[in-house]
Amino acid sequence: MRFETLAVHAGHWVDDETGAVTPSISLSTTFRRETDGTYPHGFIYSRTDNPNRTALESCLAALDGGEAAAAFASGQAATMSLFQALAPGDHVIAPNDAYYGTAKLLRDVFAAWGLEHSLVDMTDLVAVERALRPNTRLVWVESPSNPLLRITDIAAVAGLAHGAGAFVACDNTWATPALSRPIELGADFVMHATTKYLGGHSDVLGGALVARREGDALFERVRLLQRTGGAVAAPFDCWLVMRGVRTLPYRMRAQSAGAMAVATFLSTHPKVEAVHYPGLPTHAGHEIAVRQMSRFGGMLSLQVPGGREAAMGVAARCTLFTRATSLGGPESLIEHRASNEPPDTRTPQNLLRVSVGLEHPDDLIEDLDRALSGVAVA
Ligand SMILES: *Cc1c(COP(=O)(O)O)cnc(C)c1O
């Protein structure tokens, strides 16, 4: 099946009892045993397995070309389960511009637990190779990255990591399986904040880990942590993500086209210092993006002359863009990213991150043009 067809059908079925075309939400926490003590439907207790979660997991595994998936209550819970599946004394390599929640977990939670980590420039393969140690168990990749939209060569990093006996996980939240499938490029695990494009409507928090191989010892531990730790996605949340996924390919197409139009407009605007969008031929990662993505996604960032105040001013003058963090919904968002990150952030103070929604791109361009017209150019 092609991706659009999978997005509509994977994990969905028509209910034989009622004929319902849309799955119902199974709120029951517990499931009946037969007189012989068996569970004929495979469900015992909702923390261990739930029909909506099982459906979502099979859907997400299919979309990313993996054998299995584990769904969690948030993207962070999914990331955390993979780190927890490692052992104290293991070493993790992650990008120096990783999603700040990922870096925060490594630094503020898992360092004390004995998990070692190095943050490197993932676009520099020599730096990745140098960071590999005998105890490196996991290389964490994120592409495009946040907020500079840097592109990592997933296949090349996977080659280096596997050569050193390490697993590779890719945070595929921004690209989604509609645009990039890291497992096909060599990754062993794909992580999603389903909160973003997969849910797609800014109304559900969730996460998932997709595994290349179901029986991997590391994924077995993730499963154990999911079922025993209990940071599982709730039935309604699973249902919302499944609903979102059905339109994912078409939303990603429209949001990529919108972001390309906005980035192209900004790239020649006199009040814009820099635009970061992998679809622009001038972007440093453009060639790799062309190879490993089918489109370039709905996220971009821009830098304006004049620093933090100028950037805040542009965000304040936007009327169509909502000033808010997060991404992937139908409404366009604009965010002064540095002020939502810790004080030691690497994010430039004059940077605005934009999540392009499903509005007409010309309306978005007009709104940005108006907001930028107030920027003083030195
Ligand atoms: C939002 C996000 C996360 C974390 O997901 P939550 O659902 O907020 O826990 C991780 N990685 C990326 C790239 C994200 O955008």
- Mean pLDDT, the chain, integer: 97
Give residue ranges with CB within 6 A of ligand 1.
Answer: 74-76, 99, 101, 142, 146, 171, 173-174, 193, 195-196, 205, 207
Helix, coil or strand: residue 339: helix
Q: Calculate how far, in angstroms, residue 184's C-alpha sits from the geometric centre of ligand 1.
A: 22
200: which 2 tokens? 């797609």
Q: Looking at the CA of residue 173, tell me the nearest atom of ligand 1.
A: 13
Among protein residues, the one with the nearest Cα to ligand 1's atom 6 is 75
Query: CA 301 to CA 304: how far, in whole Å?
Result: 10
Query: CA 347 to CA 276: how far, in whole Å?
Result: 13
Q: Say whether pLDDT at 134 is over 80.
A: yes
Q: Calculate how far, in angstroms, residue 76's C-alpha sits from the geometric centre of ligand 1.
A: 6
Q: Calculate how far, in angstroms, residue 97's C-alpha sits from the geometric centre of ligand 1.
A: 14
Percent of the chain residues past pLDDT 70, beyond the cut: 99
Query: CA 146 to CA 144: how far, in whole Å?
Result: 7
**Residue of 141, 173, 174, 240 to mutate, ligand 1, most atoms within 8 A of C-beta:** 173
Confidence of residue 146 (pLDDT cuts 50, 70, 90): very high
User: Mean pLDDT across the stretch 159-165?
Assistant: 98
Catalytically annotated residues:
47, 99, 171, 196
Q: Over the stretch 333-351, which tens digit does the pLDDT of each residue have?
A: 999 999 988 888 889 999 9
C-alpha distance from residue 314 to each of 13, 104, 136, 169, 320 (Å):
47, 29, 43, 36, 12
Q: Calculate how far, in angstroms, residue 75's C-alpha sits from the geometric centre of ligand 1.
A: 5
**Residue of 81, 97, 99 to mutate, ligand 1, most atoms within 8 A of C-beta:** 99
**Residue of 150, 172, 195 to mutate, ligand 1, most atoms within 8 A of C-beta:** 195
- pTM over the 0.85 mark: yes
Query: CA 276 to CA 278: how far, in whole Å?
Result: 7
Residues 6 or more apart in contact with residue 186 via CB below 8 angstroms: 154, 155, 158, 159, 162, 168
Q: Calculate how far, in angstroms, residue 117's C-alpha sits from the geometric centre of ligand 1.
A: 19
